[in-house]
Amino acid sequence: IKSQCTYYKMDWRLILALIHQESLFNSNAVSRAGAFGLMQIMPRTGLGLQNELNLDDTKTPQNNLTAGIYYYATLVANFEFAGEEKYKFALAAYNAGFGRVVDAMTITYYFGKDYKFWDNVKEYYPYLSSKQDSIHKLIWPQTKRPPNGTLDNWMEPYKYVENVIFYFGEYKKYFKSNLPEPKTIEPKKKKTKKK
């Protein structure tokens, strides 16, 4: 985990937090939807990652980590424009899909809020619900629905990001980062003249 996260310039403790949320570190975990392993990779996503990364499978713990960390890193890269918020947006995308995050950002922008700030965007996730079709018609007048589909379980990505960030904070208390800590510049002390 550390070596791959260092390669992608990501804090390995964030991936620990993601694994904690996804599988509780059970390499044989299988969700009701069929997601598998430590990183809970969906079968179709796993097949694509398997081909892209030239892996034999994405089911062994090693390959599951390799594929999952790579997938999360690509999501982070897609949100580079959001600065440090990119990690939260990538978590939401890991949970409920990249397109859903983009749709929520679009709604946030429509309401005049900063769509590069997760705390703003998460407040507009309820508008992805199928019950919000009147809003959808205003934002997407041609299709009258979010391009990536409605999301009635909008609370899941909302809570998911919150949980992973909480675990990340806890892991920071116990483990050192794999990334070099930013150097803090100490202000120079003014010399006082002796009287």
Separation of alpha carbons 24 and 39, rounded Å: 10
Question: Is residue 22 flagged as an active site residue?
Answer: yes
Whether the CB-CB separation of 16 and 167 falls below 8 Å is answered with: yes
Separation of alpha carbons 193 and 99, rounded Å: 63
Catalytic hit among 22, 52, 84, 156: 22
User: How many CA atoms within 13 Å lie on the side-chain side of 86?
Assistant: 14
Separation of alpha carbons 154 and 112, rounded Å: 21
Hey, which residues are catalytic here? 22
